[in-house]
Amino acid sequence: MTLTVPRCDIQQVRNIWQAAAGFAPVLATVATLAPIAGAAHTGIGIVVLGAAVSLMSTRAAHGGAPWRLLLVPVGAVVVGAFAVLFHAAHAFGDGFFVVAVAVATAARALGPAAGRLGRALVLPLIGMLIAPVNPGAHPARTLAWATLAVFVAEAYVLIAARLRGTAAEEEPPSTAPARIHVWRGVQSALALTLAFAIGQTFFGEHWAWTVISAYTVGAAARSRGDALLKGVHRTLGALGGTLVATALALAIGDRRSLAVALLLVVLAAAFYLRQYGYAWWAAGVTAALALLYSLIGVAGTAALPLFGARLLAVCIGALCAILPATLLAPIRTGAVLRKRTAEALRAARDGDYAQAERRVAALREAAAPLLAIRRFRARRELAWVDALTAAVPDLRTLAADPQDTPALRRLRKTLGEVADDLRAAVATA
pLDDT for the residue numbered 6: 45
Q: Considering 305, 331, 357, which residue would you say is the last residue of a domain?
A: 331
pLDDT for the residue numbered 367: 93
Using the predicted structure, report yes or no on whether residue 287 has a pLDDT greater than 90. Answer: no
pLDDT for the residue numbered 293: 63
Mean pLDDT of the chain: 81
Residues 42 and 115 in one domain: yes
Query: Nearest to residue 151, comparing CAs of 76, 80, 59?
Result: 76
Predicted TM-score (pTM) of the model is 0.80
Residue 131 lies in a domain: yes
For residue range 132-177, what is the model confidence (pLDDT) as tens digits? 555 445 666 767 777 788 888 888 888 887 776 644 445 555 666 7
Residues 306 and 364 in one domain: no
For residue range 194-251, what is the model confidence (pLDDT) as tens digits? 999 999 999 888 888 899 889 988 877 778 898 889 888 888 888 888 777 777 767 7
User: What DSSP assignment string belongs to 143-162?
Assistant: HHHHHHHHHHHHHHHHHHHH
Higher pLDDT pick, 243 / 387 = 387
Residue 9 lies in a domain: no
Residues 199 and 286 in one domain: yes
Compute the average pLDDT of residues 397-411.
Answer: 92
Neighbours of 144 (CB within 10 A): 15
Q: Going by C-beta distance under 8 Å and a sequence separation of 6 or more, which residues neighbour residue 251?
A: none
Residue 6 lies in a domain: no
Cα 65 vs. chain centroid, distance in angstroms?
18
Residues 90 and 193 in one domain: no
Task: Using pLDDT thresholds of 50, 70 and 90, give the confidence band for residue 14.
Answer: low
Residue 79 lies in a domain: yes
Q: Going by C-beta distance under 8 Å and a sequence separation of 6 or more, which residues neighbour residue 177?
A: none
Quote the domain boundaries for residue 165.
16-169
Residues 95 and 120 in one domain: yes
Using the predicted structure, report yes or no on whether residue 299 has a pLDDT greater than 70. Answer: no
Nearest 5°: phi and psi at 72?
A: -60, -45
Q: For residue 365, give the DSSP letter.
A: H
% of residues, the chain, pLDDT over 70: 81
Q: Considering 286, 311, 331, which residue would you say is the last residue of a domain?
A: 331
Residue 260 lies in a domain: yes
Q: Considering 331, 356, 373, which residue would you say is the last residue of a domain?
A: 331
Residue 174 lies in a domain: no
Residues 197 and 260 in one domain: yes
Higher pLDDT pick, 210 / 46 = 210
Residues 219 and 312 in one domain: yes
The DSSP H or E segment spanning 357 is helix 353-366
Neighbours of 257 (CB within 10 A): 7
pLDDT for the residue numbered 356: 94
For residue range 56-106, what is the model confidence (pLDDT) as tens digits? 777 664 445 666 666 777 776 777 777 777 777 788 889 999 999 999 989
Residues 118 and 239 in one domain: no
Using the predicted structure, report yes or no on whether residue 259 has a pLDDT greater than 80. Answer: no
Residues 254 and 344 in one domain: no
Cα 190 vs. chain centroid, distance in angstroms?
19
Residues 309 and 337 in one domain: no
Residues 192 and 292 in one domain: yes
Cα–Cα dist 78/373, whole Å: 41
pLDDT for the residue numbered 342: 95
Residue 22 lies in a domain: yes
Residue 327 lies in a domain: yes
Total of domains in the chain: 3
Residues 210 and 110 in one domain: no
From 205-214, 259-268, 332-341, 403-412, the region with the lowest mean pLDDT: 259-268
User: How many helices (H) and strands (E) are present in the chain, helices listed first?
Assistant: 19, 0
Neighbours of 381 (CB within 10 A): 23
